[in-house]
Amino acid sequence: MNSETRSAIANGNADSSGTHSIEPLIGAAPAFLRAIAQLPAAARSDAAVLITGETGTGKETVARAIHRLSDRAPLPFVAVSCGSLTDAPLEDELSRLLAQAGKGTLFLDEVEALPERGQMTLLRVVQDRSFHGPDSSAEQHVPARFVAATSADLWPRVQAGTFRPDLYYRLCVFSIALPSLRERKDDVLPLALHFLGKHAGGNGAAPMLTQAARTALGAFDWPGNVRELENAMIRAARVRRADVIDVEDLGLPGRSEGGATPADGPRRSFKALKRQAVEAFEREYLTRILREHGGNVTHAARSAAKDRRDLGRLLKKYAIDPRVFAGHGGREVSQRGGAS
């Protein structure tokens, strides 16, 4: 990848509608650089792309980068979660999406969630580059470029017969596997600083991180990957009690104030230690039940025997984003368009 291409990938801008700020691809870890090495070749081609990776690794960001590097950059980039497509109105919805994308890019997130009928419909569109809309008697040419993404391992589903092999091969002409954040630990700090700058708002320069906070960021495993890191930086920027961000501002599961456990602070008051222990328990419990239920807040609330609104208030208190846990355990259907 030459320096000009690196620069193009690294600089975010707005998409063709002027309403979506494109997140730059930040990272120098070997695993990450290997993953994005195909982007220029993929951008020059009209062939389909399949982006894989755990939830929160930045699949939509990579899809937008491919679009931005291609000749289709001035044209629409349309993102849809396949989990929101049901059998009944599928043809209507696909027809609308194709019309909206035009000659631009159609990004199909959570492609593994497509029902059997949806897989067959998509296969015909990708393979034949034509579509018979519900309100049309003639086949319509499809000029859009297709980029799909999944946090699931599709090959076992192909072998099990739940995902069509012909669609799988059509989608993965270019296959880009994004590493988890724990596989690119050297990128955690640059990403954290980027997110602090991004979310500093109009309050001047972004807050600095203490050395203890930097160490804690590097030591954490980030099961929610880049999305979880961004959420942690948003929270830290809002709750900090000084001009710098320290460990306690990060709200990392399993860490208490100052990065110590309650037993490490015998000189602190009983009330402070009790509050710290309760908060640590609540944060860990919320994380666990959301992981068990794949980010489905309704199911998690039922499991915890709590009202959904009460659980929502706790999630807001600890700045926990349920979407971080989509793809773990169960899965809450996304009606979207957010990041992958």
pLDDT band at 7 (very low <50, low <70, confident <90, very high): very low
Q: Which residues of 300-317 are buried (b: 16+ CB within 10 A; e: fewer)?
A: bbeebeeeeeebeebbee
Which of 64, 70, 68 has the alpha carbon at shortest distance from 47? 70
pLDDT tens track for 131-154:
876 666 678 899 999 999 999 999
What is the dihedral angle through the alpha carbons of 256, 260, 262, 266, rounded to the nearest 10 degrees?
-140
Is residue 225 scored above 90 in pLDDT? Answer: yes
Cβ 109 vs Cβ 149: under 8 Å:
yes
Give the pLDDT mean for 183-205.
Answer: 85
**Alpha-carbon separation of residue 143 from 126, 135, 156, 321 (angstroms):** 10, 19, 31, 36
pLDDT tens track for 35-63:
999 999 999 999 999 999 999 999 999 99
Helix, coil or strand: residue 145: strand
Handedness of CA 23, 66, 41, 34 (dihedral sign): positive
Which helix (DSSP H) or strand (DSSP E) does residue 49 occupy? strand 49-52
pLDDT tens track for 273-287:
677 677 777 877 887
Q: Which DSSP state fits 284?
A: H
What lies within 8 Å, CB to CB, of 250 at 6+ separation is: 213, 216, 217, 232, 235, 236
Query: Quick one: pLDDT at residue 91?
Result: 81
Which of 231, 239, 214, 216 has the alpha carbon at shortest distance from 290? 231
Helix, coil or strand: residue 38: coil
What is the dihedral angle through the alpha carbons of 321, 327, 331, 335, rounded to the nearest 10 degrees?
70
pLDDT band at 262 (very low <50, low <70, confident <90, very high): very low
pLDDT band at 201 (very low <50, low <70, confident <90, very high): low
For the chain, list the domains and their CATH numbers: 3-179 (3.40.50.300), 184-325 (1.10.8.60)
pTM of the predicted structure, to 2 decimals = 0.71
What lies within 8 Å, CB to CB, of 116 at 6+ separation is: 164
What's phi and psi for 175, nearest 5 deg? -120, 120
What is the number of other CB atoms lying within 10 angstroms of the CB of residue 282? 14
- Paired with 79 in beta bridges are 107
Strands (E), 135-254: 140-141, 145-150, 174-177, 208-209, 244-245
Q: Which residues of 163-195 are buried (b: 16+ CB within 10 A; e: fewer)?
A: bbeebbebbbebebebbbbebbbebbeebbbbb
pLDDT over 90, % of the chain: 46
pLDDT tens track for 97-118:
999 999 999 999 999 999 898 8
Which of 35, 150, 140, 20 has the alpha carbon at shortest distance from 73? 20
Which of 197, 332, 192, 171 has the alpha carbon at shortest distance from 252? 192
Query: Quick one: pLDDT at residue 303?
Result: 85
Which of 89, 163, 167 has the alpha carbon at shortest distance from 126? 167
